[in-house]
Structures are given as C-alpha cells and as structure tokens.
Amino acid sequence: MTFKYRDYDHYDPGTSLETVHQMWDDLRSECPVGRSDAHGGMWVVTGYPEAYDVLHRPEVFSSHPVSFPPFPSPFKMMPVEIDPPEHARYRALLAPPFSVKLAESYAGPLRATINGLIDDFIEEGEVDIYQAMAIRLPAALATIMLGTPAEDAEQLQQWVHTVVHEGTTNLQAAIEAVQGIYQYFMALLETRKADPSGDDLMSLLLRVEIGGEKLDEETLLGFSFFLLLASLDTTQKVIGSMFWHLATDPGLRHWIAADPSLTPAAVEEFLRLWGSVINTRRATEDTEVGGVAIKEGEQLLILLAAANRDEREFPNAGRCVLDRSPNRHMTFASGIHRCLGAHIARVELRVMLDELLRRIPDFEIADEAQIEWSQGHVQGVVRLPIRFAPGPKERS
C-alpha cells in the first residue's frame, strides 16, 4: 500500500505503529510538501529543510492556532501562539524558569518519583509500562513544577487526555476539560498571589514583570494551560515509544544499561526517532515552501517526526545511531517557538532511562497484539505490556 497526501489525516484511527513511518516515508518520497483534503484542506510538510524553513519564518507563518482543528481554548496559549514582535518579550521573560540549572534541580525529586513508580510494579514481573510509567511520571513532574499536591496528578492527566484526544470526537467533553484546567489554575493563581515568594513555576511567573508591570491573569492562565499540555501528553508519547524501541532491541538496551554515560546520546536519538508532536502554522501572506505555492490563510501541518527521518539530514535515518553528530532533530521544533521545556524533558528522560535500566535491564513485549498507537497532534505508543524478571522494592 502506498500512502498519498490527499488522504492524510493526523486523526485517522487507522494509523498504527506498523504503518506510520512507512506512511511518512511515502509522503516525503512523493514530495516534501503536499496537499491533504482532511479538515477542509491543509498543507502537510514532511521534509526536513522544508519544515525548518517554515519554522524559521514566523513573520510569514503564524503559530496561532497551535492545533488544527483548534483546541477549544478561550485564551491564546503563551508564548507558543504569540507571533512577533510581541513574542520576543514574552519568550525572554519566560525563559529563566526553564533554564538548564533549574531543569537539573528536578533530577533529585524525579529520581525519587521514578523509583517509587518502579516499586509499584517491579515485584509483579509484568506491567503495561505506558500506564505505569509514561502516564504517571510527566503528571507527577507537573505537580513538582507547580508545587501542587502529588494526588492532583491523576486529575491533571485526565483533563489533558480529554482535550488532546477527544477534541474532534467529543467537543463538549473537551470544552469541559478546558474549563476544569482553567478553574484549577485560577484557584492556584489566587493561592500563589497571597504568597508569591516560592520557587514553584506559578510563583516565578507572578514575579515576572514587563515594562514594570506584572503579567496579567489572561497571560498567566494561557501559559499555564499550554504548560500542562506540553509537559504531559508530549513526553508521555515519547516515553511509550522509547520503551517499545528498547523492548525490541535488546542489544541496544544492554549497551546503554552497561554504560550509563551513553544515556544522553541515547535520549537524543530516541527524541529524534520518536518525536511525538505535530506543529501547525497559518500562512499570513502568499508564499511558497519547497517550490510549492501557499496562499494566505492556508493551514500547514508540520510533521516533525517525519522531518526527523529525512535522509537528506540524517543518513540511516531509521536507525538508532548513538554517536550521530550532528543531531539537529526538530522534536522540540526550531526557531523562535522552540520548546521552552526542552531542558526539563531531557533531564526527565535521562533520569528515567538510567533508573529503569539500572533496576530492570531485561524486558520484552508481553503481547504484541495489545500495543496501541495514538493519533492526533501528539502521536506515539500508548499501550505497551512488558514482562521481566521480578525484582525487589527499594523502599519498604
């Protein structure tokens, strides 16, 4: 079967782990930019230089809306849906809470959280690792960053899942989830206003000033909403896909487990191979991309994971090459809207990989038939039963 641009739909329930990369390779081999009839029509970008070109022309390609079809959010999500020139001041002010130094400060709490999650299933010898680790870890990290109770993680996760995965099939449920998220952050905002001296993310943002003025409530809520979407669903899908890769490549898994110094390079290759996010842009004028004419107002879907497997940029693109250099993957996008949380995501994945392979260096897929792949703007493995030799808990 050969896949064609005109039929491409990122929400197609027929897409699977077995077909998705062949689909993207087929599209790119046809041409790096093609037209889909889905959702009223959109341009789909699968080539690396073409995607890079779009992401580096923010004056021509607006990032609002951040999804297509758009999420039912009442506010613009800061700073990802803000275009130049306003974007620059917001980006500069929001960058400090996502610095390398602050990201590394999460390593200790993350290590404790990860080992607690492993303790929950290591004696069993079998688990859906997506549910047990990929779902729970990013949600737990969100509560650490926000300084909120750990038990809030499950509710935050449920809201995000509904917004991302039911927006096109159950709009009312998605709207109610968005309302729940905003109500949660409004209550948190009021609490933090009473004492904004803490080192949690909301307190840091409350202390930020632009031209001597604090960020307004709409900006804070829009940013908080985006933070939740970006920190949970995206990392969860990368983790699920990464575990699938490790389960099916024991040689690679043993190599990394035996030499933890390889972990940072492995994380970069897994990010390249299994980047989960699809970016969108809207043309603000007539232009062209890769020799294809794009009209003002037309929507573009940038398949970053497809661009990350473009042989023009990455020789042997389908292989995991730990010494790949340079590795200019675009999993965190590129240009002015490059992901603020990239440093945090790298720390999260690095610590998780180190701890899991330290305690469970050998595992395999328990049932191939149960593996699931998600569709939509964030794609990846979302069900992965594995088996392994049971081990002891590290905490009583």
The tens digit of pLDDT for each residue in 38-73 reads 999 999 999 999 999 999 999 999 999 888 888 777
Radius of gyration of the chain (CA): 21
Tell me whether residue 395 is in a domain. no
Distance between CA atoms of residues 309 and 236, nearest Å: 21
Tell me whether residue 396 is in a domain. no
Q: What is the CATH number of the domain that holds 272?
A: 1.10.630.10
Tell me whether residue 229 is in a domain. yes
Most confident of 170-174, 227-231, 348-352: 348-352
The model's pTM: 0.90
Structure tokens at 220: 């804070």
Confidence of residue 271 (pLDDT cuts 50, 70, 90): very high
Whether the pLDDT of residue 77 is over 80: the answer is no
Confidence of residue 167 (pLDDT cuts 50, 70, 90): low
Whether the pLDDT of residue 149 is over 90: the answer is no
Confidence of residue 195 (pLDDT cuts 50, 70, 90): confident
3-class secondary structure, 265: helix
Tell me whether residue 78 is in a domain. yes
Task: Report the residue count for the chain.
Answer: 396
In 148-215, which residue ranges form alpha helices assigned H by DSSP?
153-166, 171-194, 201-206
Letter for the amino acid at 51? Answer: A
Residue pointed to by tokens 């390889």: 262
Distance between CA atoms of residues 395 and 238, nearest Å: 28
Tell me whether residue 393 is in a domain. no
Distance between CA atoms of residues 257 and 162, nearest Å: 36
Give the residue with greater pLDDT, 221 vs 137: 137
Phi and psi based region of residue 335 (left: phi greater than 0; alpha: psi -120 to 50; beta: remaining): left
Confidence of residue 217 (pLDDT cuts 50, 70, 90): confident
- Residue pair 125/387 in contact (Cβ under 8 Å)? The answer is yes
Whole-number pLDDT of residue 30: 92
Tell me whether residue 392 is in a domain. no
- Residue pair 313/48 in contact (Cβ under 8 Å)? The answer is yes
Residue 281: other Cβ atoms inside 10 A: 28
CA 269, chain centre distance (Å):
15
Whether the pLDDT of residue 279 is over 80: the answer is yes
Residue pointed to by tokens 């840091």: 204
Q: What is the pLDDT of residues 245-254, one digit of tens each?
A: 999 999 999 9
Domain boundaries, position 309: 5-387
Over pLDDT 70: what percentage of the chain? 99
Whole-number pLDDT of residue 99: 86
What is the average per-residue pLDDT within 310-318?
97
CA nearest to 292, candidates 60, 39, 65, 50: 50
Structure tokens at 115: 């080992």
- Residue pair 145/255 in contact (Cβ under 8 Å)? The answer is no
Phi, psi of 247 (to 5 degrees): -65, -30
Distance between CA atoms of residues 56 and 230, nearest Å: 21
Tell me whether residue 68 is in a domain. yes
Distance between CA atoms of residues 255 and 38, nearest Å: 43
CA nearest to 290, candidates 308, 272, 302: 302
Whether the pLDDT of residue 157 is over 90: the answer is no
Number of domains in the chain: 1
**What is the average pLDDT value for the chain, to the nearest integer?**
91
Whole-number pLDDT of residue 267: 98
Distance between CA atoms of residues 278 and 27, nearest Å: 15
End-to-end C-alpha distance for the chain, whole angstroms:
53
CA nearest to 269, candidates 335, 355, 328: 328
Tell me whether residue 394 is in a domain. no
